[in-house]
Copies of this chain bind each other. A is one copy, B any other.
Amino acid sequence: MSRVVASITLTQGVAEHLRSLIHRGEVGPGDRLPPERVLAEQLGVARMSLRDAIKILQDDGYVEARRGAGGGTFVTELQRPVETWRARMREQVGEFDDIIDYRIALEAHTARLAAARRTQSDLAALRAAIKSLGRGRGVAAFRQADSRFHDALARSAGNARLQTAIHSARGELFTPHDFLMHEGPVEQSRQDHQAIYVAIREGDPDAAESLMRTHIERTRLQLREIVFGRDDSA
């Protein structure tokens, strides 16, 4: 019987939402958020609540605000947030692997469902996401393209709960800048996505699930190396 019921404020909720968008790469360095009045309207919250949320992200170094015409709220280069995230992952042992395991649970089965249910337009969205991983340079572009693919896949499965949970799990991760030190990971990722796409197009649930699992396990290793250092000591 009984466990604590946490109560987070609207402001915190909005801050987490925006932070997740940035972590997932849906908005990246240099991008401008919509004007406060507009964004508040879109999110369905009062402008004050949104401002408080933005204040939190400002303090954490995610965004900075510029006044005047042509001003707005801009995403920073994210160096400080990335370092903070990396430090947290190093401290809270097991947290990193828990998030990855959670992702595997959700996304492997999602890939399975997608293979059975995808429509033609789902396939088109997946193809587009793979294509954009080829173009663009830099972490920001990678984050975004990667996010697009996994999001398109979640959509294809047609299950709102899975999609929400996947967003939440992915929003807890954060690809550091030095992910692209070598060209390897990006190309590897592209190949993984391509293989998953084929399995889904061919309607092969077992392959889709298995490939997704392998893909995320590979991500685990690559990220782990960057976060914890090559041989665990540093």
Binding site for B on A (CB under 8 A): 1-7, 10, 13-14, 17, 21, 26-27, 34, 39, 42-45, 98-99, 101-102, 104-106, 108-110, 113, 159-162, 165, 169
| Chain B positions within 8 Å of A99 at CB level | 161
A109 nearest CB across to chain B (Å): 3
Copies in the complex: 2
14 A–B contacts, CB within 8 A, in A order: A1-B26, A2-B43, A3-B17, A4-B44, A7-B45, A98-B160, A101-B113, A101-B162, A102-B161, A105-B105, A105-B106, A105-B108, A106-B106, A165-B165
Give the distance in Å from the alpha carbon of A161 to the alpha carbon of B45 in the complex.
Answer: 28
Give the distance in Å from the alpha carbon of A111 to the alpha carbon of B106 in the complex.
Answer: 13
| Chain B positions within 8 Å of A10 at CB level | 5, 7
Give the distance in Å from the alpha carbon of A21 to the alpha carbon of B1 in the complex.
Answer: 8
Give the distance in Å from the alpha carbon of A5 to the alpha carbon of B2 in the complex.
Answer: 27
